[in-house]
Structure 1
Amino acid sequence: MSKSMIKKVIIISVILVLVLLFKFFGLGDYLSLDFLKQKQDALLSMYEARPLLILSLYCFTYIGVTALSLPGAAVMTLAGGGLFGLFTGTVAVSFSSTIGATLACIVARFLLRDWVQKKFGDKLVKINQGMAKEGGFYLFSLRLVPLFPFFVINLVMGLTSIRLVTYYWVSQLGMLPATIVYVNAGKELAKIDSLAGILSPRLIVSFALLGFLPILTKKLLALYQAKKGYPSS
């Protein structure tokens, strides 16, 4: 067995163990809206007593949940607002979610890309050509539209040739508007009965239009340059 294969087996084993522990100990119950609302006062007291420790534990937990594509990221984002306020909560969630998403992308790239390349090489070429052409604009659009589950984007992008640096900063920028909305909603945690009502249809449409604006602008600029005979960038 090659060294690369051994590394893949180790990583898969670690991921499986962590997911099984998450399921076995029922840790998902601690990442529910009901639990968060019940324990908000106790968590606030812990944060007031040891702010740096609680903030660090929160960030590491958020990174782990996102990196392993476990359910609970939305509730944790609300918790960021309920515990830390708008500014600190937004900063903590923004960096934690982006770091976790990038780790998920790296794992998907390392574990699955070779297999996908062999199985669907011709299709992957077209995807990579599209990514090379649109670059971060396409990823930015996906991140802004909350209709697409973020863990799916993390895994799919790991199969493309996008640079990780580009993936990181575009993801952080693209996820920021929805992060602010959820963190701000978390400040009124007691009034939230469901995650479904946080993003209204009008807000989703606004995010979608904002997400597709860069690509539309690029297309219009290319058409203008072609019409004027300018070389396209």
Structure 2
Amino acid sequence: MSERLKRSLPLILIVLAAAVGFVLLRDRLTFEALAENREALIAYRDAHYLPAVLVFVATYTGIVGLSLPGATIATLTGGFLFGLFPGVVYNVLAASMGATIIFSAAKAGAGERLAARMDVGAGRMARLKRGLDRNQWSVLFLMRLAPVVPFFVANVLPAFMGVPLWRFVVTTVIGIIPGALVYTSVGSGLGTVFETEGTPDLSVIFDPAILGPIVGLCALAALPMLIRVFRKEPAL
């Protein structure tokens, strides 16, 4: 096996796992499945709290790290089982570790070579990378804060742009906290939803009272780029 293939193997396995998971698990990791198993989950949590936390964090990390369907349900489950706090801590920890797995696999598989080529290149992609290098903190925070950016894209793109691991981890942990707070809060109220046989309102993140502060954080993250524009420097 060639050295390049060895380095790309983790990313290849993640892509294959994501494809298989989409086919086999998309109808299993659902809100209905959580509703059906809620009593068993609560019973296990009450009898074995620490193992329940470890199993939950490991499962959530695996879902994100292998790009399997069900990340939103996992976040709701964290809130349902453990409350807003410490549920949000477990959710942020697991999602961050899963994201780091994808980032590391992408960086080892192709990211380092792509970044090196763009650093010495002169084309459009090279100019884009140099622009992103000037604004890495802003771009990384914006990708995490903006609810329109797919989580997988926010994990892979930084690897292809040569972002250091420590910077990726810091911006991921901090950047996903607002969204995690919202969905964990929704999850913590699922008891009432189950009693009324309803479904959780996941569109709550677009409520002005919630979206407004997130937009404000996005504007704060973009401030360094805006300052560059006012100074007539290239933003990207």
**TM surpasses 0.5:** yes
AA aligned opposite 2:173:
Q
Structure 2: distance between partners of 1:114 and 1:173: 24
Which region of structure 1 is more displaced relative to structure 2, 195-204 or 113-122? 113-122
Whole-angstrom CA distance in 2 between matches of 1:3 and 1:14? 16
User: Counterparts of 1:51-200 in structure 2 under 5 Å?
Assistant: 51-113=49-111, 116=114, 122-190=123-191, 191=193, 193-194=199-200, 196-200=202-206
SS of 1:98's equivalent in the other structure is helix
8 Å CA contact 1:62–1:73 kept in 2: the answer is yes
Work out the CA distance in 2 between the residues paired with 1:208 and 1:161: 27
**1:212-227 matches, cutoff 5 A:** 212-216=219-223, 219-220=226-227, 223=230
* Contact 1:90/1:183 (8 A) holds in 2: yes
For residues 109-135 of structure 1, the C-alpha deviation after alignment (integer angstroms, 9 at most, x for no partner) is 222336756997634422321222112
In 2, the alpha carbon distance for the partners of 1:117 and 1:220 equals 26
Asked if 1 retains the 8 angstrom alpha-carbon contact of 2:79 and 2:184, the reply is: yes
- Normalising by structure 1, report the TM-score: 0.82
C-alpha displacement at 1:84, in angstroms? 0.8
Q: Distance in 2 between matches of 1:217 and 1:19?
A: 36
Structure 2 alignment gaps of length 5 or more: none
| 1:56 Cα deviation after fit | 0.8
Post-superposition shift, 1:162?
1.0
- Give the Cα–Cα distance (whole angstroms) in 2 for the partners of residues 221 and 18 of structure 1: 42
Q: 1:204 aligns with which of 211, 214, 220?
A: 211
The separation in 2 between residues aligned to 1:208 and 1:130, in whole angstroms, is: 23
Deviation at 1:156, TM superposition (A): 1.3
| CA distance in 2: counterparts of 1:159 and 1:16, whole angstroms | 16
- Whether the 8 Å contact between 2:65 and 2:102 is mirrored in structure 1 is yes
| CA distance in 1 between partners of 2:205 and 2:162 (Å) | 32
Contact map agreement 2:17 2:67 (CA 8 A) in 1? no
Distance 1:119 1:200 in 2: 40
- Which shows bigger deviation, 140-149 or 212-221? 212-221
Comparing 102-111 with 188-197, which one deviates more in the overlay?
A: 188-197
Identity of aligned residues (%): 26
Q: CA deviation at 1:145?
A: 1.1
Aligned to 2:47: 49
**Quick one: which amino acid aligns to residue 151 of structure 1?**
F
The one-letter code matched in structure 2 to 1:71 is: P
Equivalent position of 2:8 in the other structure: 8
How far apart in 2 are the matches of 1:15 and 1:46? 30
Residue 67 of structure 1 contacts residue 102 of structure 1 at CA under 8 Å; is this kept in 2?
Answer: yes
TM-score, length basis structure 2: 0.82
The SS at the match of 1:69 is coil
Deviation at 1:149, TM superposition (A): 1.1
Amino acid at match of 2:211: I
Contact in 2 for aligned 1:63/1:99 (Cα 8 Å): yes
SS for the counterpart of 2:219 is helix
- The RMSD of aligned alpha carbons is 2.8
Deviations 1:124-170 (A, max 9, x none): 42232122211211111121111111111111111011111001011
